[in-house]
Amino acid sequence: MTHEPPTVIVDIYAARVETGATPGAIRLWLHRGQLAHHGYDHAGRARVDLHELKALIAAKAKAA
């Protein structure tokens, strides 16, 4: 049995602080459907699941 980490929804600028991924790269992954979009915050910034983003970054690093 696998345990998934809890969902942590953050805006793309908070995601940048946590992962180092640029907001432009995150927007591109959202546009390509590689990352699920979780709406917008009060300032109109896209929101993503931090754990999903970290998994995507890890998968891209492993593939490189």
| pLDDT tens-place values along the chain, 64 residues long | 567 778 899 999 999 999 999 999 999 999 999 999 999 999 999 999 999 999 999 999 999 8
Three-state secondary-structure class, residue 8: coil
Best CA proximity match to 52, nearest among 7, 20, 14: 7
Best CA proximity match to 55, nearest among 21, 13, 32: 21
Q: What is the largest CA-CA distance in the chain?
A: 39
Amino acid at 40: Y
Q: Does the reported pTM lie above 0.85? A: yes
